[in-house]
Amino acid sequence: MTILYTTPAPPYYAVIFTSVLAKNVDGYIEMAERMEALARKQAGFLGIDSARSDVGITVSYWQSLEDIDRWKADAAHLVAQDQGRRQWYQSFATRVARVERDNFFALDDSANSTDR
Amino acid sequence: MTILYTTPAPPYYAVIFTSVLAKNVDGYIEMAERMEALARKQAGFLGIDSARSDVGITVSYWQSLEDIDRWKADAAHLVAQDQGRRQWYQSFATRVARVERDNFFALDDSANSTDR
């Protein structure tokens, strides 16, 4: 069963990465998987959700802006970002946002829905 | 060509909605399309990005928290939210976040990349 990420109580930070792929996506999936595995090991990493239709959306969750900046500047990540600009992406947008409130719902929970 | 939403300069707000569908999704696509069309007409609406793989992610962008609250309380939207909880969603999470910085990239732009 697919499980959504549950994150600690706000405030925390989200990086919203939306993208449209270019025609030549050789090596893209492998690199994306490698970057996700690497992100999970970073200090302050809280979770990641990812989906792709016409547009790809990846939202990663972090404890602080400093954690996000450190991950952005990671050496292996910089190489991937550079190849993304040169080859894989037709376009992308990155948004860094402070999560101020959240709400979770699950059918099987006795609580059913939680505002916080 | 698929185009990503460009939003005005920060700060603005994002609603990050992640979901896992339940088994019975009768009527879901129609309702989702109707809600997206309705969201686009709301005051303060800035844009929306949507994708689905195992997990569905919809990120909508808004001028203010008040705009988000008004859309959350919209009568037709309340009916859809209720049906979502009763029928369509195995689980979901809603996160309201303040976008503090963003960055856009497009292959055809002469500018290529914009930090702000």
CA B46, B48, B49, B54 torsion: positive or negative? positive
Complex confidence, ipTM = 0.91
User: Quick check: A80 contacting B, CB < 8 Å?
Assistant: no
A63 pLDDT above the threshold of 60: yes
* DSSP-derived pairing of the beta strands A113-115 and B89-106: unpaired
Q: What is the DSSP string of A65-101?
A: HHHHHHHHT-HHHHHHHHHIIIIIEEEEEEEEEEEEE
Residue A3 pLDDT: 74
pLDDT, mean of each 10-residue run, chain B (116 residues): 82 97 93 96 96 96 97 95 93 97 82 61
Contacts of B66 (CB under 8 A, 6+ apart): B44
pTM of this structure = 0.91
User: B99 and A99: CB-CB below 8 Å?
Assistant: no
Q: Which two tokens stand for residue A94?
A: 């990155």
Taking CA atoms, B33 is separated from A36, A58, B36, B77, in Å, by 31, 22, 5, 12
Report which of A15, A7, A92 is spatially closest to residue B14, judged by C-alpha positions. Answer: A15
Interface test with A, best of B12, B13, B15, B16 (most A CBs within 10 A): B16
Residues A98 and B97: their CA atoms lie apart, in Å, by: 5
In the block, residue with structure tokens 């954690």: A67
How much is the mean pLDDT over chain A? 91
With 0-12 / 13-18 / 19 or more C-beta atoms within 10 angstroms meaning exposed / middle / buried, residue A45 is middle
User: B16 and A14: CB-CB below 8 Å?
Assistant: yes
